[in-house]
Chain A
Amino acid sequence: MSPLIALVGNPNCGKTALFNILTGSRQKVANYAGVTVERKEGSLLTPSGKRVRILDLPGAYSLDPLTPDEQVTADVLLGRRTGESQPDFVVCVTDATNLRQNLRLVLSLKRLHLPMVVALNMSDIARRKGMMIDAERLAGELGVPVVETIGVKTTGVRALIKVLDGVGYPSPAPHAAGGRPAPWRTPSASDIEHDQSEVRRILGLVGGDRLNGVTISDRVDAVLLNPVLGPLILAVILFLVFQAVFAWAQVPMDEIKLGVAAFGNWLAAALPASLLKDLAINGVLAGVGSVLVFLPQIIILFFFILILEDSGYLPRAAFLLDRVMGSVGLSGRAFIPLLSSFACAIPGIMATRTIQNPRDRLATIMIAPLMTCSARLPVYALIIGAFIPRRTVWGGLELQGVVLFALYIVGVASAMAVAFVLKRSAPGAGLQSLMLELPAYHWPNLRSLAIGLWQRVEIFMSRVGTIILALMVILWALSSFPAPPPGATGPPIQYSVAGHLGSWLAVLFAPIGFNWQISIALVPGLAAREVAVGALGTVYALSASGSDVSGTLTPLIAQSWSLPTALSLLAWYVFAPQCLSTLATVKRETNSWRYPIIMAAYMFALAYAGSLITYTIAKALS
């Protein structure tokens, strides 16, 4: 087994960028056993040809854990986490511009008596700020080796790699001086104070301690955190993101559509008429193709979320929204899980572990699926594309983008309403904490952005390749068998199992304006929302009388649905309770069936009520 090296550090010390540059794309992302804390391991081949494993531990302010993240970090380092071996070597990553805070963790880590090195990360930024840190002196004072690193440059980690090259396994612990280290003791308040005075003493000797000076970040914050300008800028940023999701994605989406259509035509010409050909074209290609087309929009959305996160703006947004969140009983910290839920509720729900208050965390989990996740985007995009005209309003705004933005707002507003009801139903739950670090702004790191985007694309593509593909094949089978009786006049799908199921469900959904095709599509949509679009593709491909199977879905539904039906389906998907993986995640996070069941029930009720109201009003107006 290769030696295991752990990266430890405060949140925002640039640890992940350093991990990315050390391991490149050789990363395995999973969860720690039994918890939903993300476990990232990668490997590095050192210049002497040795392979070492590198574990990126969750960010921690101290080894006295208050969040599940810090618990994992402390447990792994103390060697008491089941299924994890104690690291052979520790790299304590520090932000060289913020040593006053970061060195306390170094002092705590030293008490573990594991072999370690301190990485003075962002040393280039520190130097640019005029903070001259005497690394040699620091090493002398700390009693551990210190290397300077620049986590965003390949040349910036050479010294660190050289140190890692020398790590052996099992390595003798130089500080342990033979025998077991003293048992770990949780530091008391006076220990923390003692550590801080030690930090002050060391910083006085080695330099690099500049306090309270007005930094560039402060000047930016003077505008972005301004009580009046700040919220306005936040609104503009979010609005532009959603405009971009629609405007920039248009060309690549058209390309993908053309590509799928061309491939369908080629298949139609190349394969002999058979059941297999029918499966390939009407089942797989029509279904998967109509989901794949939304990849550009998902990439664009994540592109912006990752940039906002990496630049340090996201915690500022949490700061600006804290009062609003507080008024419905949430913490400003809930903003980040909720924003992640715009991409997907699953990472959002998993991100709630950074909320310390259990009641606060539960409320955030319960409303996370109301945030418009990217899986709803295909459904929204399909219906908006078919029913909302492409024109500009109010001087240059895309009407389609405006409608999309409105749908997001409705999702957020209903989430706030539900949170308010939850707060009312469980009063007196105490004060909710914020305590959120606002890191210095910096330019987003392109490497981390690329790796982050690639991981999202992989997740989406593997969903398309597995669960969506499988459901498409099942749906195709349900929609194709039994075959229509000889002499039948209607489209073949009406005689199939899916046709019958759809006509039963259509009775339930008739009051909200759904036809049997929509009702069928809702069934596979239970597995994942975006599957509903693929399913509509399959259903309509199979109910079309023959030739135009690779034609796009948009003109088909534009012809066959009324506007009230389309609006009703949009309203349905604002609440859309049907995503089994989200419910499974809630079960795992809350360790109880109670909350996923409550969640499914309340969302179904909201969806039905929302659609009923929308359909009734739209019908009365048209």
Chain B
Amino acid sequence: MLTPKSSLPAAAGIRLTELGTGMCARVVSVAAPDAATPVDLGRRLAELGFLPGEAVRIVARGLMARAPLAVRIGTGTFALRLFEAACIRVCPEQPRPA
């Protein structure tokens, strides 16, 4: 389980899946939310760069059930399924000027 260095509680912020398309946020924590999620998922996401403190933005969503998600992390973009994105808790931010 990856927890932020700051004093925020682990359940702070919202799930990445709840973030609107085009919205920016900062990662608070990355962890498998329940037992049904594979355990190494959190670490795999961390290796792709989903780490506390990193900036994220929802680039696009699919048509059906608004999934999968295309998520900008740092300078890269990854496609995530809903259960993967649900491992990531974020704190929404105002979008920066381009």
Contacts and interface: CB of A to CB of B under 8 A. Distances in A.
A226 B66 CA distance: 11
Contact of B61 (A104, A211, A227, A440): A227
Interface in A70-106: 97-101, 104
B79 A319 contact: yes
Interface string A317-329: 0111011001000
Nearest to B40: A66
A609 interface: no
Contacts of B36: 430-431
Interface in B8-40: 24, 36-38, 40
Contact of A97 (B43, B73, B75): B75
A211 B70 contact: no
Contacts of B79: 315, 318-319, 322, 332, 434-438
Nearest to B66: A227
B74 A332 contact: no
A62 B47 CA distance: 7
A101 B48 contact: yes
A92 to B, nearest CB: 16
B47 A332 contact: no
Contacts of A439: 76-77
Highest count of chain A CB atoms <10 Å: which of B36, B37, B75, B78: B75
A228 interface: yes
A437 B77 contact: yes
Given A62-B47, A101-B49, A332-B68, A212 B83 contact: no
Contact of B81 (A66, A192, A326, A437): A326
Given A226-B60, A323-B62, A323-B64, A189 B42 contact: yes
Contacts of B54: 100, 196
A309 interface: no
Contact of A189 (B37, B43, B49, B73): B43
A34 B43 CA distance: 28
A612 to B, nearest CB: 36
A440 B78 CA distance: 11
A212 B47 contact: no
A62 B44 CA distance: 9
A322 B46 contact: no
Contact of A192 (B46, B60, B80): B46
A96 to B, nearest CB: 10
Given A66-B40, A212-B96, A214-B98, A225 B59 contact: yes
B68 A434 contact: yes
A308 B81 CA distance: 23
Given A193-B2, A221-B60, A431-B36, A212 B55 contact: yes
B2 to A, nearest CB: 5
Contact of A212 (B24, B48, B60, B80): B24
A101 B76 contact: yes
Interface in A406-462: 430-440
Given A101-B48, A212-B96, A438 B70 contact: yes
A190 B2 CA distance: 7
B49 to A, nearest CB: 5
A222 interface: yes
Contact of B63 (A228, A315, A430): A228
A221 B70 contact: yes
B1 A100 contact: no
A473 to B, nearest CB: 50
A124 interface: no
A222 B70 CA distance: 11
Contacts of B72: 212, 218
Nearest to B73: A101
A101 B98 contact: no
Interface in A187-241: 189-190, 192-193, 196-197, 200, 209-214, 217-218, 221-222, 225-228, 230-231
Given A212-B24, A228-B63, A433-B41, A438 B80 contact: no
B53 to A, nearest CB: 8
A438 B57 CA distance: 14
Interface string B66-98: 011010111111111101100000000001101
Nearest to B42: A189
A64 interface: yes
A497 to B, nearest CB: 55
Contacts of A595: none
B84 A433 contact: yes
B58 to A, nearest CB: 11
Contacts of B73: 101
A434 B84 contact: yes
A357 B88 CA distance: 21
A443 B97 CA distance: 27
26 contacts: A62-B47, A100-B49, A100-B75, A101-B48, A101-B74, A101-B76, A189-B2, A190-B2, A192-B51, A193-B46, A196-B51, A213-B96, A221-B60, A225-B70, A227-B62, A231-B63, A319-B60, A323-B62, A323-B63, A323-B67, A434-B81, A435-B48, A435-B81, A437-B48, A437-B79, A438-B59
Given A66-B40, A193-B52, A214-B98, 18 more contacts: A66-B47, A97-B75, A101-B73, A193-B5, A211-B96, A212-B57, A221-B59, A227-B61, A230-B63, A323-B63, A323-B64, A326-B81, A430-B38, A433-B44, A434-B84, A435-B80, A437-B77, A437-B78
Interface of B: 1-2, 5, 24, 36-38, 40-49, 51-55, 57, 59-65, 67-68, 70, 72-81, 83-84, 95-96, 98
